Amino acid sequence: MTLPPRIGFVGTELAPLLPNAGGLERLVTGWAEGLTDSYTTFCYSRFDDSTPATAISRQPLAELASQCDAMVINNRPEWTRDLSKPTLLILHNTVEAWNLADWSPDEQRLSKPVSLPDNVIVMTVSRFLSNHAQHHLGLATTPEVLPPFIDPAFVNGPSWQPSAAPLLFPNRLLNKKGVIETIAAMDLVSDPSLRMVFLTNFAPWLEPSTEHLELIERIRASSRCMLEPRIDKSIDLAARMTASTGVAAPSTRPEGLGLVPLESLALGIPTIISGLGGLQELIPYGAITVEPSDTEAFAAAIESVVSSPPAIDARAVRHDFGLGRSLNVLRRQLDQLILR
């Protein structure tokens, strides 16, 4: 009897591979669980429980790979150098999130090109990110897109209906997510009854950083903005989203794709995005784009969402980013990888 191939899924060092740890972690664990009909899968967390957000690992990658026929590495190109087994590198974010030793955040460039071993195939979660990866990794061809899947809680969530409820900012409280720009826009909204709720979401940090605390104070200082606790369970977050007038996700840095607005659109909720990076691929589904720094235009977009909610093609979102479709693409690539 031929045993099924053994596939090891490796998370980053930023958070444990738990379904509610974050978007990347949910995708990794979901892929691993969803492929058990074809493979024997393992999830390896490179998270140090005592020191979150560090690169400490309990077990060398080569040792983990010795138990597997192929490995799936996420967002860490340099880790593939430690592996001789067939390896799939899945990129979820842009280059500054890949933790490359030669990346200069000040100059926003690599001091020298990244060279991947011949045993590595690259995939990304959006067309934008495929072009981005080809450029920064010097790849001969554009990587295939592996569409991320939407959590079933957002596929099967309650239907959104227009209401007089506040808008919701469910993204993490980080400058790059457009928190300050959203506050500024809300302060210009002409309707004094409109409010924006921010979730105190700073995962994967266990405690708020200085940046988080400063943003929390900015939110509290605005008469138009409110804070609510972070919502861990997807089913509860889906319900909270649908109880809002609309969702704001105006990232000021390019996103790989943007799971939060994708989940919002899957529920049929009017969603405001910046359109940077992979976010632009959400426009055909009905997302409204703004330039976050254009405060007046941003405020006008908020008012427009409330007064004239746009039509959202939630059915197309659920089809294009369904679990089955995502698993089929991944399964086909893994089969090709193992046969190389």
Task: Please state the three-class secondary structure of 124-187 as a single string.
Answer: ECCHHHHHHHHHHHCCCCCCEECCCCCCHHHHCCCCCCCCCCCEEECCCCCHHHCHHHHHHHHH
Examine the domain organization and report whether 329 and 244 are in the same domain: no
The total of structural domains in the chain comes to: 2
Q: Are residues 96 and 123 in the same domain?
A: yes
Bond before 204 cis per omega within 30 degrees: yes
CATH number of the structural domain spanning residue 30: 3.40.50.2000
Q: Are residues 12 and 113 in the same domain?
A: yes
Domain that holds residue 269: 152-320
pLDDT of residue 55: 42
- 16 falls within a domain: yes
Question: For the purposes of burial, counting CB atoms within 10 Å of the CB of 49, is it exposed (0-12), middle (13-18) or buried (19 or more)?
Answer: exposed
pLDDT value, residue 294: 96
159 and 301 belong to one structural domain:
yes
Those residues of the chain that have pLDDT short of 70 are 1, 19-20, 48-58, 340
Q: How many CB atoms lie within 10 A of CB 214?
A: 15
Q: How far is CA 53 from the centre of its chain?
A: 17
User: CA 47, 49, 54 angle in degrees (round to 5)?
Assistant: 50
pLDDT of residue 20: 65
Res 64: pLDDT = 84
Count of C-beta atoms within a 10 Å radius of residue 236: 11
**Per-residue confidence (pLDDT) for residue 48, from 0 to 100:** 60
Q: Is residue 1 part of a domain?
A: no
**What pLDDT, on the 0 to 100 scale, is given for residue 1?**
55
Q: Is pTM beyond 0.85 here?
A: yes
Residue 254 covered by a domain = yes
What is the residue-averaged pLDDT of the chain? 90
Tokens of 334: 């893994």
> 72 burial class (0-12, 13-18, 19+ CB within 10 angstroms)?
buried
pLDDT of residue 56: 43
Q: Domain check: are 68 and 99 in the same one?
A: yes
